[in-house]
């Protein structure tokens, strides 16, 4: 491992051109942060050209990332973990934290994904947000988000990671609620913010426990000494880290915010829910691999959370008619696959990140495709009012189709190489012994079939079948209430990013899988792991998975292409009705968290007003009442005073006689 001190420029090893390039990695964060500062502080003066500043800042960060990646692959494998010291940040006695960056194959994989896909989304947004009067502010928030995400994945300690963690939370709040003049959008942003704060509590406590256990929070110390800590402590840390991950990555039970987060502009969905924020939880678990390796119980819980979430999202996605919310449910499910992969331990860490990278391309492409459909359909999101759009939006149709084939796992598209590896590894979990390989393997396999159904449903309802809208000239839908639409292809600034992402959806998986190149690339972080034989032969797993995918596509074709699609959703089964309401996740949250919280709050308010305030106000009222009573005795009448004196004498005599004084 190399250590480079930026302040003194004295490396711990012989300086090379590669380490010199890597020493400039702080520019990755500084460039988009500078772009955000210019756009936010420049004000209205930057409105006309500010969006290009945002694009340039993100693009420049990608150039730096690409050069740094080239420098890293030029180093021997055992020297590809480089710690870059920036400055002394928190010198507080025993608790001392330096600000620094860790550049290794894991962080560089994220950096390339965030900057490349993020830059494409910036370019797309130039056209998508063209008529928005606050476009400059939107790009400032995009730059802020990219900078925070890069800080999160490049930080060399849990404390600095937490700064980036909260940074993406803030930026997501600003972007989801960007159109906050509508109450629903503001509520959605608040919901995402609050749900993430619940998870953040777990991360805060985990960091405190890490410091109490290891006396440090930097990755070198903590991960290097994790093997010497007790299993109980590591289990507690692992579960607390997982709580933070469930909030940020919308995993069970903190997944309720993701669908509502579609309230933001569509490029926000592509950035947050494909390539950046929701993947942060997976990064946290894989980065903390040595902790989980010593805590098998916590690792099992990670796998359970992933398995539940991948099925949860798939079921919900099968019933959504809002194209963006259907994609959001898909994101939840696919992150569940990644979390399941991470929960498999060393045999699954690399495959979780592998699927994360391919998913970043095909899901971002589909979100941008959804935005293109909305652009051509007057911001309509109801797929029941689409149909037949392939004839009018051919570029969007083809690029979206590439993403659809990739997420289905159809060879040779990317998802086949990444998601199927997680399924195979699930069948090899625990060395192929016990119930775990069968439960997690079958869950992942069945999830692939459901994924094929709901993603094909989305694709067919949008681009195929009969038109369920009118062109205003007697063509289109026969429904007399069909809205008049004039679908058209999006401008080049929107279609070219979709084309590039479609190319990645088609070829990235095969490129990374060739010769196990990606798993070998990650070995300095995840370690070398010998392949384990799954309980089922790999060809059997592959063929069975593809058969289930084919069945899912066929069912969707029969129901949503070959048959007429009702413009009003039918009543449906009990499960369908539950899926439309997100399996009642909001109702469960209200019953378990919101209502008890309201009762507790109202009880505290009542106690404060009646007991605390009552004690002070009651004393004051008593004094006032006593004063009022005494005031009546001071009436100025001589006979009243004489009567009082007589009463006093009588009382005094009675006391003397009674007690013999």
For residues 196 and 223, the answer to whether their CB atoms sit within 8 Å is no
- Taking the C-alpha atoms of residue 272 and residue 49, their distance in angstroms, rounded to an integer, is 24
- Taking the C-alpha atoms of residue 302 and residue 340, their distance in angstroms, rounded to an integer, is 7
pLDDT at position 329:
94
Local structure of 5: helix, strand or coil: strand
Q: What is the 3-state secondary structure (H, E, C) of 274-331?
A: HHCHHHHHHHHHHHCHHHHHCCHHHHHHHHHHHHHHHHHHHHHHCCCCEHHHHHHHHH
- Taking the C-alpha atoms of residue 59 and residue 120, their distance in angstroms, rounded to an integer, is 9
- Taking the C-alpha atoms of residue 268 and residue 261, their distance in angstroms, rounded to an integer, is 9
- Taking the C-alpha atoms of residue 650 and residue 290, their distance in angstroms, rounded to an integer, is 90
Contacting residues for 201 by C-beta, under 8 A, at least 6 apart: 243
Local structure of 484: helix, strand or coil: strand
**Residue 401 CB-density burial (10 A; 0-12 exposed, 13-18 middle, 19+ buried):** middle
- Taking the C-alpha atoms of residue 400 and residue 251, their distance in angstroms, rounded to an integer, is 25
Is the pTM higher than 0.75? yes
Helices (H), 323-435: 323-343, 349-376, 394-408, 414-427
Number of helices (H) and strands (E) in the chain: give both, helices first: 27, 3
pLDDT at position 171:
93
* DSSP codes joined into one string, 187-256: HHHHHHHHHHHHHHHHHHHHHHHHHHHHS--BHHHHHHHGGGS-HHHHHHHHHHHHHHHHHHTT-TTS-T
Give the pairing type, strands 2-5 and 82-92. parallel
**Residue 443 CB-density burial (10 A; 0-12 exposed, 13-18 middle, 19+ buried):** buried
Q: What is the 3-state secondary structure (H, E, C) of 603-650?
A: HHHHHHHHHHHHHHHHHHHHHHHHHHHHHHHCCCCHHHHHHHHHHHHH
Local structure of 472: helix, strand or coil: coil
Query: Count of alpha carbons within 13 Å of 8, Cβ hemisphere only?
Result: 8
Residue with tokens 């969905």: 269
- Taking the C-alpha atoms of residue 364 and residue 274, their distance in angstroms, rounded to an integer, is 5
Q: What angle do CA 471, 474, 480 make, to 5 degrees?
A: 85
- Find the helix packing angle between 135-154 and 105-128, rounded to 10°: 170
Local structure of 100: helix, strand or coil: strand
- Taking the C-alpha atoms of residue 354 and residue 517, their distance in angstroms, rounded to an integer, is 11
Positions of the chain with pLDDT under 50: 4-15
Nearest to 365 by CA among 421, 414, 423, 422: 414
């Amino acid at each position: 491992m190399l250590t480079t001190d930026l302040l003194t420029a004295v490396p711990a090893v012989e300086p090379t051109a590669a380490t010199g390039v890597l020493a400039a990695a702080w520019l990755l964060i500084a460039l988009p942060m500078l772009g955000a500062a210019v756009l936010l502080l420049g004000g209205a003066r930057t409105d006309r050209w500010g969006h290009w500043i945002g694009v340039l800042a993100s693009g420049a960060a990608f150039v730096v990332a690409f050069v740094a990646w080239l420098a890293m692959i030029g180093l021997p494998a055992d020297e590809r973990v480089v710690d870059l010291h920036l400055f002394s940040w928190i010198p507080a006695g025993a608790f001392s934290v330096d600000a620094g960056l860790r550049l290794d194959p894991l962080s560089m994989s994220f950096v390339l994904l965030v900057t490349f896909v993020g830059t494409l989304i910036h370019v797309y947004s130039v056209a998508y947000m063209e008529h928005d009067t606050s476009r400059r502010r939107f790009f400032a928030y995009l730059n802020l988000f990219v900078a925070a995400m890069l800080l999160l994945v490049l930080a060399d300690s849990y404390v600095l990671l937490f700064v980036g963690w909260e940074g993406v939370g803030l930026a997501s709040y600003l972007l989801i609620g960007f159109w906050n003049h509508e109450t629903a959008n503001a509520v959605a942003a608040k919901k995402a913010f609050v749900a993430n704060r619940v998870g953040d509590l777990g991360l805060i406590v985990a960091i405190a426990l890490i410091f109490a256990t290891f006396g440090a929070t930097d990755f070198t110390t903590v991960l290097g000494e994790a093997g010497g800590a007790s299993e109980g402590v590591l289990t507690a840390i692992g579960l607390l880290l997982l709580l933070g991950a469930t909030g940020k990555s919308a995993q069970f039970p903190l997944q309720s915010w993701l669908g509502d987060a579609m309230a933001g502009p569509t490029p926000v969905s592509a950035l947050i829910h494909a390539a950046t924020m929701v993947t942060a939880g997976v990064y946290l678990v894989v980065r903390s691999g040595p902790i989980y390796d010593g805590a098998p119980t916590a690792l099992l819980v990670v796998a359970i959370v992933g398995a539940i979430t991948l099925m949860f999202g798939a079921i919900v996605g099968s019933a959504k008619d809002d194209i963006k919310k259907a994609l959001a449910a898909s994101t939840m499910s696919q992150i569940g696959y990644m979390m399941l992969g991470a929960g498999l331990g060393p045999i699954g860490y690399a495959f979780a990140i592998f699927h994360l990278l391919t998913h970043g391309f095909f899901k971002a492409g589909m979100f941008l495709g959804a935005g293109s459909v909305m652009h051509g359909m007057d911001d309509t999101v109801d797929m029941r009012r689409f149909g037949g759009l392939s004839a009018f939006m051919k570029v969007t149709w083809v690029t979206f189709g590439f993403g659809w084939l990739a997420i289905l796992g159809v060879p040779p598209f990317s998802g086949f190489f990444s998601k199927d590896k997680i399924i195979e590894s699930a069948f090899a979990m625990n060395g192929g012994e016990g119930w775990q390989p069968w439960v997690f393997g079958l869950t992942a396999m069945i999830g692939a079939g459901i994924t094929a159904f709901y993603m094909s449903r989305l694709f067919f309802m949008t681009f195929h079948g009969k038109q369920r809208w009118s062109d205003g000239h007697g063509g289109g839908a026969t429904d007399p209430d069909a809205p008049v639409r004039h679908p058209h292809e999006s401008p080049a600034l929107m279609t070219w990013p979709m084309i590039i992402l479609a190319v990645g959806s088609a070829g990235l998986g095969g490129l990374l899988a060739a010769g196990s190149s990606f798993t070998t690339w990650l070995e300095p972080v995840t370690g070398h792991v010998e392949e384990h034989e799954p309980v089922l032969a790999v060809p059997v797993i592959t063929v069975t998975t593809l058969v289930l995918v084919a069945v899912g596509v066929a069912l969707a074709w029969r129901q949503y292409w070959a048959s007429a699609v009702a413009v009003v959703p039918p009543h449906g089964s009990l499960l369908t009705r539950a899926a439309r309401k997100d399996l009642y996740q909001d109702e469960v949250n209200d019953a378990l968290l919101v209502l008890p919280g309201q009762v507790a709050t109202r009880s505290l308010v009542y106690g404060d007003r009646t007991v605390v305030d009552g004690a002070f106000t009651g004393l004051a009222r008593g004094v006032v009442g006593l004063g009022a009573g005494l005031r009546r005795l001071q009436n100025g009448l001589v006979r009243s005073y004489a009567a009082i004196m007589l009463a006093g004498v009588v009382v005094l005599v009675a006391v003397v006689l009674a007690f013999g004084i």
